């Protein structure tokens, strides 16, 4: 018998993850813990060499002001972010497969040192990068006992913020972590989630497809 998979990711990513899980033969339960919303912003007057994008949400939420930056080559983190940038009319010059720091290193290898990043309100700082927040991931509070659905399930954790919020809600609803398995997108996410889980698997690569693959290994009872 396969365990259900709990999708905590906000839309539109949550639906994409759920579709991947269903295609893999798993029951996907959607319980988003954040809602993504745009933040008002203006393109900078300064000149930059390249645009760094660490999330597809930056492209989706930036709005019409994004067009002012289309002349900049894009360095993206992950294939999904790169695809969103291309759809928005950007030329993607490099794609990192790890995190913002690794993508920044790619940009500098290309000789770009004045880097602009469109990002979320909460983000990991990168030295030497100018950040403009264009969206916020606002935490949601599900009704009391809503997290009971996590018992016996595999929870997919896409971010450290999601891990922290998920753990807090489990404690609120008195759900023992020993009844929950965790598929995490990185070791940093595991650290944020804390200890005491039934089992934990880290995705082989920091992307949604690899996280779903990790979930499949956990969904089979052992």
- For residue range 126-167, list pLDDT tens digits in order: 889 999 999 999 999 999 999 999 999 999 999 999 999 999
Cα within 13 Å of Cα(194), Cβ side:
15
At 59 the pLDDT is 95
CB of 222 closer than 8 Å to CB of 27: no
pLDDT confidence band for 78 (50 / 70 / 90): confident
**Domain ranges, ordered by start, for the chain:** 5-33+140-219, 38-135
Q: Is the pTM higher than 0.75?
A: yes
The answer to whether 5-33+140-219 and 38-135 have equal CATH topology is yes
Which helix H or strand E contains 146, and what residues bound it?
Answer: none
The three-point CA angle 109-211-4 to 5° equals 170
Average pLDDT over residues 202-216: 93
Number of helices (H), then strands (E), in the chain: 7, 11
Q: Which of 3.90.1170.50, 3.40.50.2300, 3.40.50.1970, 3.40.50.10090 would CATH assign to domain 5-33+140-219?
A: 3.40.50.10090
CATH 3.40.50.10090 fits 38-135, yes or no: yes
Residue 87: count other Cβ atoms within 10 Å of its Cβ: 11
Contacts of 83-88 spanning 24+ positions with Cβ under 8 A: 83/56, 84/53, 84/56, 84/59, 84/60, 85/53, 85/59, 87/59, 88/59
């Amino acid at each position: 018998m396969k365990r259900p998979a709990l999708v905590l990711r906000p839309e539109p990513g949550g639906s994409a993850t759920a579709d991947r899980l269903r295609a893999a033969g798993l029951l996907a339960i959607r319980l988003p813990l954040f809602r993504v919303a745009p933040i008002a912003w203006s393109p900078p007057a300064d000149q930059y060499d390249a645009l760094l994008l660490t999330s597809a949400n930056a492209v989706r939420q930036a709005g019409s002001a994004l067009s002012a930056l289309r002349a900049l080559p894009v360095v993206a983190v992950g294939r999904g972010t790169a695809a969103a940038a291309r759809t928005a009319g950007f030329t993607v010059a490099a794609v990192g497969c790890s995190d913002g720091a690794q993508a920044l290193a790619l940009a500098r290898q290309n000789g770009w040192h004045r880097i602009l990043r469109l990002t979320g309100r909460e983000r990991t700082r990168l030295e030497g990068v100018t950040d403009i927040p264009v969206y916020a991931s606002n935490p949601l509070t599900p009704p009391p006992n809503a997290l009971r659905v996590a018992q016996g399930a595999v929870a997919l954790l896409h971010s450290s913020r999601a891990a922290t919020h998920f753990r807090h809600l489990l404690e609120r609803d008195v759900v023992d972590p020993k009844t929950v398995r965790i598929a995490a997108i990185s070791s940093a996410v595991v650290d944020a989630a804390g200890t005491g889980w039934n089992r934990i698997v880290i995705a082989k690569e920091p992307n949604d497809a690899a996280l779903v693959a990790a979930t499949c290994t956990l969904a089979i009872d052992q």
